Amino acid sequence: MFAFIIRRGLLSLLILFLAVSLLFGMIHMVPGDPATVMLGPKATPELKAEYSRRMGLDRPLVIQLGRFYAGLARGDLGVDPFSERNVVNIVWEQLPYTMMLVLAAIGGASLLGIPLGCFSAIRRNSLLDRLTAVMSVAFIAIPSFVVALYLLLWLAVKWRWFPAMGAGESGNFSDQAYHLVLPAIALGLGWVGYIARLVRASMLEVMEENHIRTARAFGLSERTIILHYALRIALLPTVTILGLGIGSMLSGALFAEIVFSRPGIGKLLYDAVLTRNYPIVMGSVLVTTGFFVLSTLAADVINAFLDPRLREQRGS
């Protein structure tokens, strides 16, 4: 198990390196001169050149990338040209908000979706089964920012059940959780039906397998069979997809953070892109990519925990 995690960890680092290098190149191809955006259209060419030199923008891309990694190795992501603060600190402050949002969304969606899927597999064509079928299609089709806007409009503005803005008082857990509800629903709702359908499909498949018939032939209760013998196997593909799904959730988090005026990496990245604030953009991209890579790693580890065959196959 340990060897497995090490191997997967190294692979994750490699993926992270490639992804970040690629993004680094892409960001610098975005039109718009950062110096102009930063200093305003009236800035003199001398001022702009001075700014570019200070930010290292006049160097070739490869050198810039090399510097970026050199800094990264020291735990230094550069300085925010606006506030003169360390980028690492800025990003580190925002990260927990986004992580909490994504984890709440995916956790909530799983807590609802997995039992729903399980139930619809067992009671096929029941009302609930058909409902999840409709739900999955309907909510996948609706983008999360639309859901976010309507939730905001009704639950927060019209009925005032939930707060409309911000992330809550820092240090006050229940207030933060309260502020998390609407954005998490906006982000996770589309996943409930999807997870339910995934679990249902693999559950139906597993329930047909021979070992389930064996368990039945020994008179084990349906409950034991479903929870201990079938679900564990049926969850494997779902866990993998959830691990990958965190990637698309991160982009959804961007909308949720903007609509609900929540702090977070998405909001940070959005603002930084508008102002061509490269150090912040790179810092945000780095942590989100890292978060994504980590979540796929977590999915693999969970699966290896669920299935001994995976554990050994990749561990050896």
Partner 1 sequence: MSLPVLNIQDLSIHYQTEQGPLQALRDVNLQVPEGKIIGIIGESGCGKSTLISAIIRLLAPNARIGRGSVNFKGRDLLRLSRDHMRALRGDEISMVFQDPMTSLNPVLTIGRQMYDVQHRSAANRAEKTARSLQMLDRVGISDPATQLQRYPHHLSGGMRQRVAIAMALMAEPDLLIADEPTTALDATLEVQIIHRLKELQREFGCSILFISHHLSVIAELCDEVIVMYAGEVVESGSVRDVFIDPRHPYTQKLLECDPARIAQRTRELPVIEGSLPNLVDLPGGCIFRERCSHRLARCGEDRPDLSGNQHQAACHLLDAES
Where along the sequence are the contacts to partner 1 (CB under 8 A)? Answer: 209-211, 213-221, 224, 228-229, 232-233, 306-309
Among residues 94 and 202, whose Cβ is nearest to partner 1?
202
User: Judged by CB, which is closer to partner 1: 29, or 217?
Assistant: 217
Helical H segments across the chain, by residue range: 2-27, 34-39, 45-55, 61-73, 87-122, 127-141, 144-151, 173-207, 210-217, 222-224, 231-259, 265-274, 278-306, 308-315
Start-to-end CA span in the chain (Å): 9
Shortest approach of partner 1 to residue 236 CB, angstroms? 9
**Pairwise CA distance, residues 12 & 61, whole Å:** 24
Give min distance, CB of 197 to partner 1, in A: 21
Distance CA 153, CA 158 (A): 6
User: What is the per-residue burial (b if ≥16 Cβ within 10 Å, else e) of 17-37?
Assistant: eebbeebbeeeeeeeeebbee
Nearest to partner 1 of 23, 220 (CB atom) = 220
Q: How far is the CB of 313 from partner 1 (least distance, A)?
A: 10
- Residue 213 burial (C-beta neighbours within 10 Å; 0-12, 13-18, 19+): exposed
Provide, rounded to whole angstroms, the least separation between the CB of residue 134 and partner 1: 25
Select 7 or 232, whichever has its Cβ closest to partner 1: 232
Q: Which two tokens stand for residue 195?
A: 């997870």
The smaller minimum CB distance to partner 1, of residues 231 and 280, is found at: 231
Q: Is the dihedral of CA 98, 102, 103, 105 positive or negative?
A: positive
DSSP state at residue 125: T
- Give residue 147's region: left, alpha or beta (phi > 0; psi -120 to 50): alpha
Q: How far is the CB of 196 from partner 1 (least distance, A)?
A: 22
Q: To the nearest whole angstrom, how small is the minimum distance from the Cβ of residue 217 to partner 1?
A: 4
Taking the least distance from each CB to partner 1, the nearer of 187 and 231 is: 231
The residue among 123 and 160 lying less far from partner 1, judged by its C-beta, is: 123
Query: What minimum distance in Å lies between the beta carbon of 212 and partner 1?
Result: 8
Gap between the Cα atoms of 201 and 39, Å rounded: 56
Q: Is 123 or 211 the residue whose CB approaches partner 1 more closely?
A: 211
CB of 54 or CB of 124, closer to partner 1: 124
Question: Distances from the Cα of 309 to the Cαs of 300, 305, 313, in angstroms?
Answer: 12, 10, 6
In angstroms, give the least distance from the CB of 223 to partner 1.
Answer: 11
For tokens 């013998």, name the residue: 229
According to DSSP, the residues that pair with 86 across neighbouring strands are: 79
Q: How far is the CB of 122 from partner 1 (least distance, A)?
A: 13
Tokens of 96: 């927990």
